Amino acid sequence: MASGRVCGGFIGLLALFAYIDAASQTVNQELSDIFNELWKLDVNRFKAGTDYRISLQGKAGYIPSGSTTATDHASSPLFSYVNENKLKSITTYARFMKLLDNYERATGVAEKVTSEEVTENNAFLDAILETAVMKRAHQYLVKKGKSQSSLRPFKSQLYYMWFRLYHRERKGGEDSSGFEHVFVGETKFGNEIMGLHNWVQFYLQEKQHLLDYKGYKARHNDMPDEDDHVLNVQFSWHGLVKPVGSTFIGVSPEFEMAIFTILFLTSTEKTTIAVVNMAEYQLEMVVHRHGRSIGTSYPKLLSSNSRHV
């Protein structure tokens, strides 16, 4: 009798977990719709096989968080080719790349923002605000009552969200920002990689032999293709290992900033997770807030090549 109750309780727990898992996979249709609009407007997205080529190689193995060693399942870099002339000739990319060397890598080390860096931040925001992607995102946020219709307060909103410095570590000065964490990457306690979810930074760090791609991560035999625009990857950076990191591939910086700005501003949760169907991908979009600024944001690939349909 007792064993029957235990068995029943166990089955009940399994059912509960299955329900929670199913509930967590409910697709947010409204966000899916606006993100697909932005996807179609992203004319600056690089084309796989033409503007860049990637080499997926092997599937990465499991390593525990905090480990500094990983078996390398990829003897070559992830990016075998990127059209650098195109990177430099598109204003949003060119201004974006100027920001990548403006930060101290280690948390706990206070950032010193020069007037030149403030000018670079503003020039980047001016460039993305001129794109169809960011104009549509702004329009959407105004309609939702989350932003003002005037461009100046919206730009200020973006600056505060992405570039305002804050304390990620209690010791020392203001050592981090949303932009640094998400697009540039940082290290914690000298033993952990945080952030670094941007493909351009990934490529540039690979090119300088500071980052070593270890292989892709995939769920349920959902094998990625070399023309995929979202990947889960494992890599080392400055001698540290990231067991799994997720990144868009080829998308423009304005596209990433637009979707994560929308996700951030349309929620008040400390951590916002939304499942969306975008293009041929099913993604778990994650934003964690640090006050009124971005703490982190990234896409987590659930399924690609429309396998979820």
Question: What is the reported pLDDT for 112?
Answer: 76
Domain-embedded: residue 74: yes
Local structure of 268: helix, strand or coil: coil
Q: Does residue 197 carry a catalytic annotation?
A: yes
Question: What is the reported pLDDT for 11?
Answer: 47
Regarding predicted confidence, which is higher, 73 or 170? Answer: 73
pLDDT of 21 above 80:
no
Asked if residue 142 lies in contact with residue 223, where contact means CB atoms within 8 angstroms, the answer is: no
Span 180-193, pLDDT tens digits: 889 988 877 777 78
Question: What is the reported pLDDT for 102?
Answer: 66
Name, in order, each residue with C-beta under 8 angstroms of 88's C-beta and a sequence gap of 6 or more: 94, 97
Span 279-296, pLDDT tens digits: 989 999 999 998 888 999
Question: What is the reported pLDDT for 115?
Answer: 84
Catalytic residue among 138, 217, 242, 290: 242
Count of domains forming the chain: 1
Q: Does residue 138 carry a catalytic annotation?
A: no
Domain-embedded: residue 240: yes
**Cβ neighbours, 10 Å, residue 60:** 23
Span 147-165, pLDDT tens digits: 999 999 999 999 999 998 8
Domain-embedded: residue 300: yes
How many angstroms separate the CA atoms of 85 and 120, rounded? Answer: 20
Name, in order, each residue with C-beta under 8 angstroms of 220's C-beta and a sequence gap of 6 or more: none
Give 264-269's long-range contacts (Cβ < 8 A, gap of 24+).
264/161, 264/289, 264/294, 264/297, 265/141, 265/144, 265/146, 265/147, 265/157, 265/161, 266/31, 266/141, 266/144, 266/146
Catalytic residue among 138, 197, 214, 229: 197
Q: Domain range holding 85?
A: 29-58+69-304
Name the strand (E) or helix (H) holding 157: helix 151-163
How many angstroms separate the CA atoms of 128 and 133, rounded? Answer: 8
The dihedral formed by the CA atoms of 53, 99, 183 and 135, expressed in degrees to the nearest 10:
-90
The stretch 48-76 carries a mean pLDDT of: 89
Range with lowest mean pLDDT among 108-112, 134-138, 180-184, 225-229: 108-112
Domain-embedded: residue 13: no
Domain-embedded: residue 1: no
Domain-embedded: residue 22: no
Asked if residue 280 lies in contact with residue 305, where contact means CB atoms within 8 angstroms, the answer is: yes
Name, in order, each residue with C-beta under 8 angstroms of 135's C-beta and a sequence gap of 6 or more: 129
Domain-embedded: residue 17: no
Question: What is the reported pLDDT for 105?
Answer: 63
Regarding predicted confidence, which is higher, 229 or 172? Answer: 229
Dihedral class, residue 128 (left if φ above 0, else alpha if ψ from -120 to 50, else beta): alpha
pLDDT of 18 above 60:
no
The stretch 93-115 carries a mean pLDDT of: 77
Rg of the chain over Cα atoms, rounded to whole angstroms, equals 20
How many angstroms separate the CA atoms of 7 and 1, rounded? Answer: 10
Domain-embedded: residue 63: no
Range with lowest mean pLDDT among 77-86, 230-239, 298-307: 298-307
The stretch 100-110 carries a mean pLDDT of: 66
pLDDT of 35 above 60:
yes
Q: Does residue 86 carry a catalytic annotation?
A: no
